[in-house]
Structure 1
Amino acid sequence: VILSKDSQEFTGNFCVDDVLLAAEGVTDFSVYRVDPDKTLWSDFFVPDDIPEIEPVVMAMNPGA
């Protein structure tokens, strides 16, 4: 997403990956979980005023 932005307009922005991706329509972050039963942790450097992204839970399809 960042690499496809116009560098003249986007340079100098601080990006939080899940916020940026959610703004672009990507909301399923379950592929990044080591353990599917555990939620992802927030990074320690992310400011407190960054909104939480509602997680999308994808059901596994064992027959696929």
Structure 2
Amino acid sequence: MLKERVVEKVCNAVHREVTLELACNENDITGYESASMMKSCDSCSQCGVKTESGYHWERCVFYGRAL
């Protein structure tokens, strides 16, 4: 089951608070959650994550972090 949540964090790349939408897979039987995946950010066009060819989440300062 896909579990979604919204997190607000201060981003050093754009120097203000941003709203991140994250999702993770949750196993209904064990309750185990996978690592959170970035779905969207309200400022990703200002820091270089969003380009003409799509989203490059590996450029995000929150990529790979537990939020």
TM-score by length of 1: 0.24
Larger radius of gyration: 1
The structure with the greater share of residues assigned to strand is: 2
